[in-house]
């Protein structure tokens, strides 16, 4: 029986669609089969431009290896990496947050990179405790390349106007100075209660670590007194008015913008904020983070290179990581601080505003907790800090509840 024209067209469209899908699949299968010498490297947006230059140099030095640079975004890399590692179909090198390495290692998803450390990449050249925090059962699973911490950023003009001649060194100084600075449309300090919950929790934990909290197996072990003191500093400061009530609406970007407008006198933050302030010609100076009775402790956070166990080109991947871990290349890819001390000599890391950060990193910092159980409680801890700031619970009650959360 002859087919009518419209029926022919309808069936033609269906057959064409099926053939197109089958053809695309076949093409991709053939195409991927011809890439035996290609190392796939997932790199976040912010490193992509420099990474292109470094890859060009690497390929010149290693003509037998081709690098397929895949540009990801910082917001999506965690989920994407997790799914890729779970599926067993992963790239060869991933630029990842060091805070997530322990989680991948616990699932047996990463290849050891211990063999990369030695004469060329000595472990002693890295920030204190950094390599230890990435070593499990004697094997190291990442090569860090950037490392950063918080220090105190302040506005020297506002300090001078308030009759304060030096930045605070202790918590008592911090509170006294903030109260003196809070006048008119200026507040002494502010906290990032909006945005990523890690931002607020990181500051809370910096204070707690300065006062006796320890990190064991990647998890904080709070003392009641240190947690309560940290909650008083953050939540109490808002209740008492020497930190801005607008903290409830601010993320890191918001706090920085208000600092640049001269509405916030000081706040703990990373070196990126300092660079922005310097670029804009704002009044800015930096100091060590205050502690209970001297410089406080800050957590080091950073990024590194991991090689998935499922990588099909491990040796070539390790050659790439080894190349990227050279001090010169590390310095190229870093906007905060390089993980290796020998890479810190570059002039961009030794500006007057950066010196307190370098000092904080070298003498008053330790790697941030990276246990997945702690990571899973960050939102709940953040909420407790907010409850203290809102006056729903006291710092003492909040400390007890946070201790329980961390001990789960």
Partner 1 sequence: MRHLLGRVSARAGVWTTLAVLLVWSLAPIAVMVFTSFKKREDIFAVPVRLLPSSWTFENYSAVFTSSSMPRALLNSVIIGGLVAVATLLFCFSAGYALARFRFRSARPTALFILLGQVVPLTVVLLPVYQIVSSLKLLDTTTGVAFAHLAITVPLVTWMVRNQIAAIPYDLEEAVQIDGGSRFDAVSYVTLPVCAPGLAAAGMFAFLQSWHEFLFASVMATSTASRTAPVALTQFAGEFDVDWGATMAASVVLTLPIVILFMIMQRYFAAGLTGGAVKG
Q: Which residues bind partner 1 (CB under 8 A)?
A: 1, 3-4, 6-7, 9-11, 13-14, 17, 21, 24-25, 28-29, 31-32, 42, 44-46, 70-76, 79-80, 83-84, 86-87, 89, 91, 185, 195, 251-254, 256-258, 260-261, 263, 270, 272-273, 276
Counting beta carbons within 10 angstroms of the beta carbon of residue 23, is it exposed (0 to 12), middle (13 to 18) or buried (19 or more)?
Answer: exposed
Residue 17 vs 376, nearer CB to partner 1? 17
Shortest distance in whole angstroms from residue 199 CB to partner 1: 10
d(CA 365, CA 127): 9
Residue 309's SS3 state is: coil
Q: Using CA atoms, how far apart are residues 269 and 250, in angstroms rounded to an integer?
A: 14
Q: Nearer to partner 1 by C-beta: 91 or 356?
A: 91
Cβ-based nearer residue to partner 1, 171 or 305: 305
**246 or 397: CB nearest partner 1:** 246
The distance of closest approach from Cβ of residue 406 to partner 1 in the complex, given in angstroms and rounded to an integer, is 26
- Quote the least distance from Cβ 313 to partner 1, whole Å: 17
Strands 298-306 and 214-216 come out as unpaired
For residue 270, the minimal CB distance to partner 1 (Å) is 6
Distance CA 126, CA 339 (A): 6
Residue 216 to residue 369: CA distance in whole angstroms:
8
Cβ closest to partner 1, residue 59 vs residue 251: 251
Residue closer to partner 1, measured from CB, 162 or 258: 258
Q: 302, 146 in Cβ contact below 8 A? A: yes
Q: How far is the CB of 30 from partner 1 (least distance, A)?
A: 9
- Rounded to a whole number of angstroms, the minimum distance from the CB of residue 17 to partner 1 is 6
Pairing verdict, β 93-97 and 38-44: parallel
Q: Are strands 135-136 and 139-140 parallel, antiparallel or unpaired?
A: antiparallel
CB of 317 to partner 1, least distance (A): 16
Identify the H or E element spanning 8: helix 5-33
Give 21 or 161: the residue with its C-beta nearer to partner 1. 21
Phi, psi angles (nearest 5°) of residue 154: -145, 165
To the nearest whole angstrom, how small is the minimum distance from the Cβ of residue 135 to partner 1? 25
User: What residues have CB less than 8 Å from 383, skipping those under 6 apart?
Assistant: none
Transcribe 23-57 into DSSP letters. Answer: HHHHHHHHHHHT-TTEEEEEEEHHHHHHHHHHHHH
Q: Between residues 74 and 129, which has the closer beta carbon with respect to partner 1? A: 74
Reference 200, options 240, 249, 153; nearest CA is 249
């Amino acid at each position: 029986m002859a087919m009518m024209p419209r029926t022919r067209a309808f069936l033609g469209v269906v057959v064409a669609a099926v053939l197109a899908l089958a053809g695309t699949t076949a093409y991709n299968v053939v195409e991927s089969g011809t890439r035996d010498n290609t190392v796939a490297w997932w790199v976040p947006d912010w490193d992509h431009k420099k990474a292109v230059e470094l890859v060009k140099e690497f390929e010149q030095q290693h003509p037998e290896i081709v690098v397929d640079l895949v540009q990801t975004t910082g917001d999506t890399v965690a989920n994407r990496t997790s799914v890729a590692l779970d599926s067993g179909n992963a790239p060869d090198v991933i630029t990842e947050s060091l805070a997530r390495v322990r989680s991948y290692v616990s699932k047996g998803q990463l290849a050891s990179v211990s063999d990369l450390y030695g004469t060329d990449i000595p472990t002693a050249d890295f920030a204190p405790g950094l390599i230890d925090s990435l070593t499990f059962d004697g094997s190291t699973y990442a090569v860090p390349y950037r490392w950063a911490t918080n220090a105190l950023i302040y506005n020297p003009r506002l300090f001078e106007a308030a009759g304060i001649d030096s930045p605070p060194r202790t918590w008592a100084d911090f509170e006294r100075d903030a109260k003196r600075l809070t006048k008119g449309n200026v507040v002494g300090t502010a906290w990032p209660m909006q945005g990523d919950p890690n931002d607020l929790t990181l500051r809370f934990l910096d204070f707690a670590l300065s006062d006796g909290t320890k990190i064991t197996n990647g998890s904080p072990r709070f003392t009641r007194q240190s947690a309560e003191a940290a909650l008083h500093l953050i939540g109490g400061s808002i209740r008492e008015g020497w930190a801005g009530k607008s903290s409830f609406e601010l993320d890191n970007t918001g706090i920085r913008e208000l600092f640049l407008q001269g509405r916030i006198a000081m706040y703990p933050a990373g070196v990126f904020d300092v660079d922005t302030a310097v670029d804009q010609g704002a009044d800015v100076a930096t100091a060590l983070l205050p502690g209970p009775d001297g410089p406080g402790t800050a957590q080091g956070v950073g990024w590194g290179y991991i090689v998935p166990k499922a990588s099909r080109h491990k040796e070539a991947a390790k050659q790439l990581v080894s190349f990227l871990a050279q001090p010169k290349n590390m310095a190229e890819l870093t906007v905060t601080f390089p993980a290796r001390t020998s890479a810190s000599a570059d002039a961009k890391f030794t500006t007057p505003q950066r010196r307190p950060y370098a000092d904080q990193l070298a003498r008053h910092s330790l790697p941030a907790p990276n246990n997945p159980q702690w990571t899973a409680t960050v939102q709940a801890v953040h909420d407790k800090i907010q409850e203290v700031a809102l006056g729903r619970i006291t710092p003492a009650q909040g400390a007890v509840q946070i201790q329980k959360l961390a001990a789960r």
